[in-house]
Structure 1
């Protein structure tokens, strides 16, 4: 009887057993993500349809919060600031990092030292970097005071957001440079040798060999830059708090203020859902582009 039962018992192929074993190892991580990310995300989605204050009962208000969002001047200005921030970080830090990585990749002496020096700012805590740059910008004892220029960069609505972006760039570009250098190391040196024999300049080599060779990495880092730009919070909150007069307010800081200062947690949840949808659209667009172009990371 036991022999017959053993013969009738279905068996998994080796590949399926390996896959099942892998999923068993992943289960704790999946459960943790479901608990830490999935559950709060689902609750935020539910609360975005209510007028919840953060305490007490929540009353269902339908789509009122979402309708209010796109007629709220503060939210629209914050979203516009996010778009400006995204454009800045897609252009300035990435351009500096690409140039730095290309120049260092052609350097034979001291390359590791330069990598470490440029990467060090990224290892510093955000509060440290933001505090350093706040002191540099100080109109009382900062750089402008030393130079004798009467200019308050963080207190002027026309310069505040750009000044915070420069501080963030100082920390961020070195990380990008190291990533791009790692990608450039996989580009065949024979391509550069052939280009030099054909009389190609350094700029032409960069444009027609380096950029195509690291395009998947470049596009992926651009995607992550877009996502991180829409989630920016720490530098703005520490250096300006969203001021002056809302000139540096982004959706992240507005969300925080709305939830914990004016106690409109339901409305803040709607802002969070909009940010999440933007991230989903960006990731979906990137995956579609990678499949269309046949890129591999």
Structure 2
């Protein structure tokens, strides 16, 4: 008569541990499959509406295409024409000026507006809503209102005898002013959220050391919100190079190209001149500029070890 030999006592915990490990591994795989199942529709939509058109834009930038019929391959001819085109250089220069303006004026206004709101206790929510409201109003509505306000026939232009949107000197600053009116309130709200995350103990310690409001702002607030500041600077640069709505609604790039930016040049070449291949080359250059800005930001972020 034979008897079964029981497994060693030490082997039982090891076997149980192995089973638990297999169960955890199987559970992790199931969670990964479920996660990908939820993500696949979104990936498919992005591939359809973002990746696909982007690849086609790259292809058409090397062709002579009117946007309707077949495309004829021309290689780098569009890019060679682009960098020799006075209209392109003019639009690019306006984008640079636009970017400089929006990196300085609304950023400074947003910073000090947000800091001022941190110093008050009553009606803060009312001010936040008042600042943010122009940002959520449709750009068509905002542009139409300011077009009438600045009109040389019925608005401020009539009083001052100045055609703000018809002057080659004043048109671009005027459009930038209108866009800034709608934009800077958004910066106020974002900066205010970042400033509210700064520890009050830092300000109390600085006040005990005799630091005034400006010194506290310079030595505590700005370093504390630096990641947010740099991120908004990045987005401002990208959005500045993609600006279109206010320029097109108010001036369509005129007068005589005085407010032309890359996006209005692209729109005109694609839909007015029916040069979709050339317009695609303009779009690729815009994308490359944005990509370089993002790459520079990521390098700085990695070196600074920012969480934002």
TM-score for the superposition, normalised by structure 1: 0.94
- 5 Å-filtered alignment, 1:136-155, equals 136-145=149-158, 148-155=159-166
Question: Match of 1:171, SS?
Answer: helix
1:15 CA displacement:
3.9
State yes or no: 1:80 paired with 2:78. no
Matched, 1:135 2:145: no
Provide, for residues 230-258 of structure 1, a one-character-per-residue CA deviation record: whole Å limited to 9, x for no partner.
00000000000000010000000000000
SS of the aligned residue for 1:290 comes to: helix
Matches within 5 A, 1:135-284: 135-145=148-158, 148-284=159-295
Distance 1:129 1:33, change over 3 A: same
Report which stretch shifted further, 11-20 or 57-66.
11-20
Q: Distance in 1 between matches of 2:138 and 2:120?
A: 30
1:93 aligns with 2:93: no
- Which one of the candidate residues 15, 18, 31 is aligned to 2:44? 31
Match of 1:291 in 2: 302
Distance 2:242 2:178 in 1: 17
Alpha-carbon offset, residue 36 of structure 1: 0.4
Post-superposition Cα deviations, 1:186-245, rounded to whole Å, max 9, x if no partner, equal 100010111111111211111111111111111111101110000000000000000001
Matches for 1:46-65 after TM superposition, within 5 Å:
46-65=59-78
TM-superposed deviation, 1:13: 4.8
Q: 4+ residue runs of structure 1 moved beyond 6 angstroms?
A: none
Partner SS state of residue 192, structure 2: helix
Which secondary structure does the structure 2 equivalent of 1:245 belong to?
coil
Note the C-alpha offset of 1:183.
0.5
Residue aligned with 1:90, SS:
helix
Unaligned runs of 5+ in 1: 1-6
Superposed CA deviations along residues 54-101 of structure 1, whole A, max 9, x for unmatched, are 121111000011111111000010000001101100101111010000
TM-score normalized by the length of structure 2: 0.91
